[in-house]
Structure 1
Amino acid sequence: MIETTLSSADLRSPPTISPGTPVSEAAEYLRRPPVSALPVLDEGAVVGIITAADLVAMVAETDGRPPVRVIMSSPVTTVSPETTVSGAAERMRTAGVKHLPVVDDEGYRGLLSVTDLSPYLPRHQLNVEWRDDPLSIESDGGRELPADD
């Protein structure tokens, strides 16, 4: 099998947001097909990622509307454009994630999802199991975070 690198794959470029973006704005982006995740960038560096599952956890755990930095997944597992498709699938499987920002020395290049890998790999190589604790929104020092924090 010839290994294809991500640099030759058709990467999606969903909107990016900042850590201070209101959750309501992130939710609006995630309602648009085919946006399934939003990379969170701070000064060009990927510092987090937010998915619909993060928003569901926020709604389930709080009445507030915190900024994205409170609910984003961080640190973020990333890959480089030189990563092979099978290497990216393995990275997703071991990290238990379904989205990988692609970054190089110059910064963010695009977002790779399990769906993006499906034309390149057999289904059994794309099974991703989440291996972490259930999503949880942590407060700052044990206090409840206000909506505009």
Structure 2
Amino acid sequence: MIETTVETVTTSTARTIDPETPVTEAAERLRAPDVSALVVLESETVVGVVTEGDVVALVAETDERPSVRAIMSASVTTITPDATVFEAAERMRTVGVKHLPVVEDGVFCGLVSAASLAPYCSRHNVDVEWADEPLSVGATNGTGVTVGD
């Protein structure tokens, strides 16, 4: 199986924001159809991630309008560009996030999302085995298909 790396699916034009930016500005940026998250950078270092869900939670819980720092997810899980998409998907699953900032040597490179990984991750692993002729294709759940002449 060919291992696709995170670098292949990283959004290098990911939107960033300063932690002291007012939440109303973050909400405005998140309204853009192509923006699912904002990576919070402080002195070029990833310190958080803000999503629509963070803004919705704030509105539901209070009338205050603090800075991004108050609502961002500050315990940030990152991934390197050379990790595989399957490693990224597993990390998202275990940590419970939909976005991973891509960081190399402490420098923010882009963002990978669950949506960008979806085309590369199948719900079922398929094992392909050559058994002389014909080609035999078997799924990991025990079912299989044999392709004849």
TM-score range, shorter-chain basis? 0.7 to 0.9
Residues 30-75 of structure 1 show CA distances to partners (whole Å, capped at 9, x for unaligned) of 0001101000000001000000000011001111100000000011
TM-score by length of 2: 0.79
4+ residue runs over 6 A deviation: none
Amino acid at match of 2:38: L
- In the other structure, the counterpart of 2:14 is 14
Within 5 Å, give how 1:124-135 maps onto structure 2: none
CA distance in 1, matches of 2:47, 2:10: 23
In the alignment of these two chains, the number of paired residues is: 125
Which piece of structure 1 moves more, 17-26 or 115-124? Answer: 115-124
> What is the SS of the residue equivalent to 1:4?
coil
The whole-number CA distance in structure 1 between the counterparts of 2:48 and 2:27 is 15
Query: Unaligned regions of 5+ residues in structure 1, if any?
Result: 126-149
Partner of residue 92, structure 1: 92
Q: Map 1:53-92 onto structure 2 (within 5 A).
A: 53-92=53-92
Look up the SS of the partner of 1:73 in the other structure.
coil
Q: Work out which structure has the larger RCO, using CA pairs closer than 8 Å and 6 or more positions apart in sequence.
A: 1
Distance of 2:95 and 2:52 partners within structure 1: 18
The alignment's C-alpha RMSD in Å is 1.5
Give the deviation of 1:7 after TM superposition. Answer: 2.0
When residues 21 and 87 of structure 1 are mapped into structure 2, their CA distance, relative to the original with a 3 A threshold, is same
Distance 1:26 1:123 in 2: 34
Counterpart of 1:113 in structure 2 is 113
**1:9 alignment partner AA:** V
* Structure 1 position 106, deviation (Å): 5.1
Q: 1:68 to 1:92 in 2, by over 3 A?
A: same
Identify the residue that residue 31 of structure 1 maps to in structure 2: 31
Q: Secondary structure at the match of 1:119?
A: helix
**C-alpha distance in structure 2 between counterparts of 1:110 and 1:78, whole Å:** 10
Could you tell me how far apart the structure 2 residues matched to 1:99 and 1:83 are? 15
In structure 1, give the amino acid aligned to 2:71: I
The 3-state SS of whatever aligns with 2:74 is coil
TM-score (norm: length of structure 1): 0.79
Following TM superposition, by how much is the alpha carbon of 1:27 offset from its aligned partner in structure 2, in angstroms? Answer: 0.5
Cα distance between partner residues in 2 of 1:46 and 1:78: 9
Return the alpha-carbon distance in structure 2 between the equivalents of residues 76 and 68 of structure 1.
14
Aligned: 1:45 with 2:45: yes
Measure how far apart 1:12 and its partner are: 4.5
Q: Percent of aligned positions with the same letter in both sequences? A: 58
